[in-house]
Every structure is written in C-alpha cells, then in structure tokens.
C-alpha cells in the first residue's frame, strides 16, 4: 500500500506542541502535495536532526500516557545507533522534568551482534542500559533484547522465544528504525524476505565497514547478528524510521520513491499502513520534491531555485549554460522559467553571471581581519580549507586555528609504541630523566599488551596520542605559513570519553568556545558545516559554536561554513568559490601529509578507501571541473564556502 503525503503533515503535527509544529513547518515550502506523485511512504523533512528527536519522543510519550490512562501497557520496539540517541535523551529529560513514567512500558530491541557478551562495550544490551533504561523507571523484566551470548545450537530456539514474547505482550505498538546504506532495517540485509522473522543473519560487507569505527577496526566487527525479521517489523502498529545526514540521502530517496525490492529491505515499509520517515534536510536532500521540485508541479521561482534549475538542466543536457536553447527548456518542463526572463539567452546569462559572481580569488578575499578557523579534528583545517587558509595568511589576516578536540582516538596503538621507542632512544642518547621515561614506557607498553579492541585508553596513552596529533597539526600550520602561536588546542570535554561515542555537548564545552570568541573578538570564523562526519564530531562542534555565538557579548562574527573530508558544497549552494592554482593545491596536500598518523591508513576512513589527500585532490579538482563544464572560467582546483 502506498502512503500519500499530501495533507499528512498537518495530521501528524496536530498532536505536537508549538515547538514541534514549528520544526515540521520549517520546510513547509518543500513538504507539500508535490510529494504525492512519487513518494510511497509518508515522509517528514525537518530542519535539523534535533527536531526529529523531539518529534519522535513526543509521539512516544503520548502513546505511553494513552496506554497508562486506559490501564494498559505501551509496547515499544527500539533501535540502537547514533540516530535514536537523541530520542532517548529527550525521553530521559521528559522523565526527569515532566514526570513521564516508564512503569507501564515493555520494550523489544531490534537486534544484537552475535556472538556478543551482554556486558561487552560493543553490545546493544549495554548500549540500551547506558543510554536509556538506567535513567528511567522501567522494570527490568519488561526489557527484551535479542541475546548474543547463547550457544549457537540454541540460537534458533531463542529467536522463537523472542517472537513468542512479542506476541504475549500483544504486539509492538510503536517501532523505531534506522536505515543502513544498503537499505537494511534492523540487520535485515539485502535478500531478506518480506516474511522473515527473528533469526541469525550474516552481515553485509557494507554494514560491517560502517560499524568498523565502533569496533576500532573492521576485522573486529562480528560477522553475524540476531535481528527481528521484516515481517516482525511490519507487524508493529506504527513505525518511525529516523535518518540524518547527507550520507543517508541516496538510500532515503530509493526507499521512499523506488519500487519494492528484495535487495532493499526498507522498501517493504511501503506496505505498512502507518509508517513515517523522519529525516533532516540533509537526509532528505535527494527527494524529488526537494532536489528538483519543478519536475513535479508549478513552483515559485526564487533566485536560488532558478540557479539550481538551470544548472541542473545544463548537466542533464551536457550543454554549457550559455548554449541552452528554448527546446532544452521545453523538453524538460521549464518553459515557464524562460517566460519569466523573456528569452533563453537572458536566463542563461543571468545564471552564468550569478555563478561567476561567486568566484573569489585572493584579491577579492578579506584582508587584515581577525579570523578564527574552528577545526573539529586536528587535520580538518588543512584538509577542508587549506587553500583559503593560505590565501588568508598571504592577505595578512590575523589567523588563529582552534582545534576543538584532540582527535586522539584516531591514532593507532602502533604509533604510540613507535613514539615510546623514540623517547626511550632519546633518553639513552641524551641522558634525560631515565626513571621517568622507564616508568612511562612500562605503563604504556604493559597496557597496550593486554588492550582489547575498543578498550578505553589509560590517561598516559591518551595523552601520547593527543600530543602526536597536536604536533602534526602544528607541522601542517607551518606549511601554511603559520606557527605554533597560531594554534589553540581547546580539548572540549564532550570528546574526552575515550570511546567512539561521545557525550552530549554541554555548558562546559560552550563556555570554552565562548571564552575564546570573547578573547579574540574575531570578525570572521570558519566552521565545519558538514553532516557526514562518521562520528558526528563535526556536528557536535558546530553545536557548541552555535550555542556560544548566542551567548557572546561581542559583535557577532561572519560565519563561513566549510565541508569536511567527506563532501563539498554544491556550486549552487556555495556563497563563495575559491580557486586554487596547481601550486596551491600541492601546498595544501603537503600540509595534509604532515598528519602522518592519518596517512596511508586512517583509523576511521568511512566508506572511501582513498587517503584523505586523494579525496581532497579529487574533490577540489571536481568542483573546478563542474564550473568548466557549465562554461565558466577553467580553474585547476577550487574550494567552496557558504556564509552562514
């Protein structure tokens, strides 16, 4: 059964408070009846990922209260991962501040790795107790999570018992889902059938690679998992699928707009009578109503939409902007846009000039400005904005690079051993304090010898890794023409868990950023604006900066958003396009090379096998190539920025 979207948003929003309704209306200009012709699942696109947490938590709280008032039990199907954590934190807040009780709640989790001891730092048992159950008044006997610690010969019987427990509870009232890049829900990998039930499955290679960061290496990720089946999920009375970030945009479009496909388990959700996708702007970016709304219905042609549409037409026809014809526009349903401008030539020229005006070489960039570059990790500055960083130095701007986190979890243990060996050799040759060196080396080497994948480093090891990354950051700055005095290492507290999963950004983080802003009083700040960082560290750093900007007592600086190693701003989104010569790109790559702990094989490479410098080289050249194909000036490479 396909789910029409037109009008559905008003029905869903009716049960929420003013803040939640505002979040839904945040994208009302694209969340309209345009969706009915292509979207087969009700999809709410909201402005920010935080809005999703509030919306879904409010729906769950309403359900719990309704069941309690009726003398019944609310049965929740829960998921793990980074996306639902926001929902759980909001539920905990509602429990503490608003008296929401979980005494009448029964829960069933989607899945668990196999084999997996319940007390392992990687287990979903531990995840759920740490992130939700330990903070609310749920009865332990009402918590159900698939077991990953039973003998293999007992797994099938355990799965049957799990299904029976769901049935005894009366079925699941509300099921939370995430979605993997393969389109899996739960661990229902490609090939999972619509009639599948709770069972042991083999994990897809893409899924295991996505989980590699949590296990500190793909080789440590289990190859199997116990998961609810597709049929088990579809039996839930209501389903909410949550997705955030650009890296989910393609699979969201496929699940919502594509045909049901055995290879993409999420497409089976099209058959559910009450399933809603909650996605942020980034995850919904490729939906037709957002990416190309003019293909669906009449639109209000804003300047931004006009540029997007004409660039899209140029790319579809493989013609330069100034060579687009009346026929090109007519064949792609865009005659009304031409009519507004009077002729194709006038429209082509208008968009051509609009894109050309975005190009900012060194002579058109700021001079003599107090500037802070906020770098979430110790290499994001040179990876993401090495080109403009050098130009700002040459234009005699006052530059400070603020490294927000230590990045120490992204240092291999073998690098620590190498540096400890270096210190010991230096001690022997130079006669340094031998007792202190031997004590430190003994502590470090003893810990590393017994360390298991994912174990939190002892302070001595964490400090060595921090120092490694700080020294690399300074070396990279020196390539850019800066020095140690231009670096500030903030070491924000939220990052200092020693684990891949971080604490929420708190007042202490915001206070550190605010103090720096008020000390330096910058006129311009650079901020990582991407949402595809695998750990969410970039997003959390931006959250701290945004909060600090709201609190500062000084004039607000101009904010320039850059993208991280994973994506670049589209040329139609960018405010400024900054060209680089061959020599400037080479200098940028040399600065990236200084981050030796991240070279050759970074601990958390994401889905891209290339080294960071290779991604940068391709990304910056590709951006310049796009402008070349559109018929604008030909540059060797280019960075893109958005003024926030």
pLDDT score of 437: 87
pLDDT score of 518: 97
pLDDT score of 3: 35
Quote the tokens at residue 589.
């790559």
Q: Are 161 and 197 in contact (CB under 8 A)?
A: no
Kind and range of the H or E run holding 386: helix 380-394
- Mean pLDDT, residues 89-104 taken together: 97
Half-sphere exposure of 89 (CA within 13 A, CB side): 12
Quote the tokens at residue 227.
């998961």
Dump pLDDT digits (tens) for 144-182.
999 999 999 999 999 999 999 999 999 999 999 999 988
Dump pLDDT digits (tens) for 554-608.
999 999 999 977 788 999 999 999 999 999 999 999 999 999 998 876 555 555 6
Residue 333 — φ and ψ, nearest 5°? 65, 35
pLDDT tops 50 at residue 358: yes
pLDDT score of 533: 57
Residue 359 — φ and ψ, nearest 5°? -75, 125
Which residue do the tokens 């589209």 mark? 570
Quote the tokens at residue 321.
């902007």
Contacts of 71 (CB under 8 A, 6+ apart): none
Cα distance between residue 251 and residue 270, in whole Å: 14
Global pTM reads 0.84
Return the percentage of the chain with pLDDT > 70, whole number. Answer: 92
Residue 309 — φ and ψ, nearest 5°? -65, -45
Dump pLDDT digits (tens) for 443-477.
999 999 999 877 889 999 999 999 999 999 999 99
**Closest among 5, 6, 40, 38 to 270, alpha carbons compared:** 40
pLDDT score of 318: 97
Kind and range of the H or E run holding 317: helix 303-317
Q: Catalytic site residues? A: 189
270 vs 211, residue with greater confidence? 270
Burial of 459 (0-12, 13-18, 19+ CB in 10 A): exposed
11 vs 340, residue with greater confidence? 340
Cα distance between residue 360 and residue 291, in whole Å: 26
- Mean pLDDT, residues 90-113 taken together: 97
Cα distance between residue 551 and residue 548, in whole Å: 5
Paired residues of 185 in beta bridges: 188
Q: Are 307 and 354 in contact (CB under 8 A)?
A: yes
pLDDT score of 217: 77
pLDDT score of 565: 73
pLDDT score of 215: 80
Q: Are 272 and 536 in contact (CB under 8 A)?
A: no
CA angle (460, 462, 463) in 5-degree steps: 65
Paired residues of 11 in beta bridges: none
Dump pLDDT digits (tens) for 254-298.
999 999 999 999 999 999 999 999 999 989 999 999 999 999 988
Paired residues of 562 in beta bridges: 528
**Closest among 140, 142, 137, 65 to 96, alpha carbons compared:** 137
The region that residue 199 occupies, defined by phi over 0 for left and psi between -120 and 50 for alpha, beta otherwise, is: beta
pLDDT score of 249: 93
Q: What value does the mean pLDDT of the chain take?
A: 90
Mapped onto helix, strand or coil, the DSSP state of residue 105 is: strand
Q: How confident is the model at residue 619 (pLDDT cuts 50, 70, 90)?
A: very high
Cα distance between residue 85 and residue 79, in whole Å: 9
DSSP-derived letter for residue 5 is -
pLDDT score of 455: 84
Dump pLDDT digits (tens) for 402-414.
999 999 988 889 9
pLDDT tops 90 at residue 316: yes
Q: How far apart are the first and last CA of the chain?
A: 41
pLDDT score of 176: 98
Domains, the chain, in order of start with CATH, read 8-290 (3.40.50.1360), 300-356 (no CATH), 362-412+454-643 (3.40.50.10320)
Helix 82-98 with 49-69: angle, nearest 10 deg: 50
pLDDT tops 90 at residue 13: no
- Mean pLDDT, residues 491-496 taken together: 93
Quote the tokens at residue 494.
């939220």
pLDDT tops 60 at residue 12: no
Q: How confident is the model at residue 16 (pLDDT cuts 50, 70, 90)?
A: very low
DSSP codes joined into one string, 513-568: HHHHHHHH--SEEEEE--S--TTSHHHHHHHHHHHHHHH-SSPPPEEEEE--SS--
């Amino acid at each position: 059964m396909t789910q029409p979207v037109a009008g559905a948003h008003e029905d869903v929003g009716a049960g929420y408070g003013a803040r939640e309704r505002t979040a839904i209306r945040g994208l009302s200009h694209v969340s309209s009846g345009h969706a009915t012709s292509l979207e087969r699942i009700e999809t709410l696109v909201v402005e920010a990922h935080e809005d999703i947490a509030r919306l879904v938590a409010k729906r769950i709280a309403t359900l719990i209260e309704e069941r309690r008032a009726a003398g019944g039990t609310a049965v929740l199907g829960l998921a793990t991962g980074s996306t639902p954590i926001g929902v759980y934190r909001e539920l905990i807040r509602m429990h503490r501040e608003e008296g929401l009780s979980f005494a009448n709640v029964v829960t069933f989790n989607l899945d668990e790795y196999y084999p997996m001891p319940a007390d392992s730092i990687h287990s979903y048992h531990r995840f759920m107790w740490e992130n939700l159950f330990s903070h609310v008044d749920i009865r332990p006997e009402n918590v159900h999570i698939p077991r990953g610690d039973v003998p293999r010969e007992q797994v099938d019987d355990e799965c049957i018992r799990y299904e029976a427990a769901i049935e005894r509870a009366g079925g699941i009232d509300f099921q939370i889902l995430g979605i993997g890049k393969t389109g899996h829900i739960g661990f229902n990998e490609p090939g999972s059938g619509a009639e599948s039930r709770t069972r042991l499955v083999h994990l897809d290679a893409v899924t295991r690679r996505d989980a590699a960061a949590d296990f500190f290496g793909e080789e440590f990720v289990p190859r199997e998992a116990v998961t609810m089946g597709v049929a088990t999920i579809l039996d839930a009375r209501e389903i909410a699928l949550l997705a955030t970030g650009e890296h989910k945009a393609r699979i969201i479009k496929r699940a919502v707009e594509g045909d049901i496909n055995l290879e993409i388990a999420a497409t089976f959700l099209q058959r559910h009578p009450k399933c809603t996708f909650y996605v942020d702007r980034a995850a919904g970016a490729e939906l037709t109503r957002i990416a190309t709304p003019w293909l669906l219905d009449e639109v209000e042609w804003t300047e931004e939409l006009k540029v997007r549409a004409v660039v899209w037409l140029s790319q579809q026809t493989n013609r330069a902007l100034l060579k687009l014809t009346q026929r090109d526009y007519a064949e792609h349903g865009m005659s009304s846009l031409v009519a507004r401008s009077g002729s194709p030539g006038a429209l082509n020229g208008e968009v051509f000039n609009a894109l050309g005006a975005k190009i900012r070489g060194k002579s058109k960039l700021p001079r003599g400005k107090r500037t802070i570059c906020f770098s979430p990790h110790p290499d994001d500055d040179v990876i993401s904005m090495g080109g403009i960083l050098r130009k700002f130095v040459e234009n005699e701007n006052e530059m400070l690079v603020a490294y927000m986190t230590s990045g120490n979890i992204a240092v291999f243990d073998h690098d620590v051993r190498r540096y400890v060996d270096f210190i010991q050799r230096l001690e022997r040759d130079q006669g340094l304090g031998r007792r202190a060196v031997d004590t430190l080396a003994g502590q470090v080497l003893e810990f590393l010898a017994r360390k298991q994948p994912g174990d939190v480093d002892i302070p001595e090891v964490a400090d060595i890794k921090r120092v490694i990354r700080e020294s690399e950051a300074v070396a990279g700055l020196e390539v850019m023409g800066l020095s140690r005095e231009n670096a500030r290492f903030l070491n924000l507290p939220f990052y200092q868990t020693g684990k891949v999963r971080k604490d929420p950004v708190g007042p202490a983080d915001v206070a550190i950023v605010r103090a720096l802003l008020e000390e330096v009083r910058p006129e311009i700040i650079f901020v990582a604006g991407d949402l595809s960082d695998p750990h969410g560290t970039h997003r959390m750093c931006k959250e701290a900066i945004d909060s600090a900007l709201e609190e500062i007592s000084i004039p607000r600086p101009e904010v320039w958003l850059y993208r991280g190693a994973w994506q670049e701003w589209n040329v139609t989104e960018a405010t400024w396009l900054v060209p680089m010569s061959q020599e400037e790109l080479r200098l940028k790559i040399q600065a990236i090379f200084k981050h030796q702990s991240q070279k050759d094989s970074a601990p958390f490479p994401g889905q891209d096998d290339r080294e960071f410098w290779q991604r940068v080289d391709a990304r910056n050249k590709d951006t310049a190539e796009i402008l070349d194909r559109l018929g604008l000036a030909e540059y060797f490479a280019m960075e893109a920025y958005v003024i926030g």
